[in-house]
Amino acid sequence: KVLGGSSSLNAMVYIRGHALDYDRWERQDGCSGWSYANVLPYFRKAQNHELGADAYRGGNGPLRVTTRHQPNELFDVFVEAGIQAGYNFTEDLNGYCQEGVGMMDATIAEGKRWSAATAYLHPALRNPACNLSVYTKRHASKIILNTNTNKAVSVETITPDGKSAESFVATKEIIVAAGAINSPQLLLLSGIGDANDLAKAGVKVCHHLPGVGKNFQDHLDLYLQWECLKPITLHDASYVGNQVLYGLEWILLRKGMCASAHLEAGGFIRTRAGTPSWTRQQYSCCLWSKSFFLPLPT
């Protein structure tokens, strides 16, 4: 557990969902106000892209987004290979056309990870005008609902060893943002979910909401590896001497190997021609981790 959630742990690639996914949520799934046209202004409002604002990027938000942190010919070759295979080159994988290959954005700025905590939480904590308190080493265990109105009114917490801790009473609203697994778990433990499932688990039903805990989706990874014939990968970073040099470069200049996630090229393609891109979407990125320097045959 860490402040910033997965944005403090992930690979820092900045990728938004496909526009047609958001449109489908509103059109087919009944999520009113979640079309891409509705959410795009909020993406732009949050973003502070180093290339400035345009119709799809934001330029004044708190979330710093940059590109091309550690140029390497393998990234360019990856993109060129995609173009030769018949895929389009897209200048912005979060822009007008996501389908194709190109360079990826990342939540990296000044050589450092720019997490949600860095963008939002830490500035608010430094601002005396912000009415914000942060409690760490607390686990939300239950949301209490008003028995008459079914409105969420408070949250119970426990300590890491399972002992009861503070209860927080809401005067306006409660926002559940505990991640893709813990959010539905918290709702289910609070009696919010499918009544049949809750009854089987011995949890008192407070609000029958069948969708909670259902339809979980995860992305699958398939790694393809090739030997590199040039010493241009991350392999030399495995040597202690180079690690010291790269570390000093980052400490002094905030640049170099340690200032990149090394996921700088990628693409979105369809699994087969004629398939709607939002139903068959594949994400590929250029990962380089091991080098094999092979002498030419004599």
Per-residue confidence band for 278, with pLDDT thresholds at 50, 70 and 90 = low
User: How many CA atoms within 13 Å lie on the side-chain side of 103?
Assistant: 16
With a cut of 80, say whether residue 263 has pLDDT above it: yes
Dihedral sign (CA 229, 230, 231, 235): negative
Contact indicator for 266, 75 with CB cutoff of 8 Å: no
**Spatial CB neighbours of 232, under 8 Å, sequence gap ≥ 6:** 72, 73, 74, 288, 291
Residue 22: Cβ within 10 Å count? 20
Backbone angles phi and psi of 152, in degrees to 5: -70, 130
Per-residue confidence band for 279, with pLDDT thresholds at 50, 70 and 90 = low
Structure tokens at 279: 């139903």
Write the pLDDT tens digit of every residue in 179-221.
899 999 999 999 999 999 999 999 999 999 999 999 888 877 7
pLDDT at 221: 76
The average confidence (pLDDT) of the chain is 88
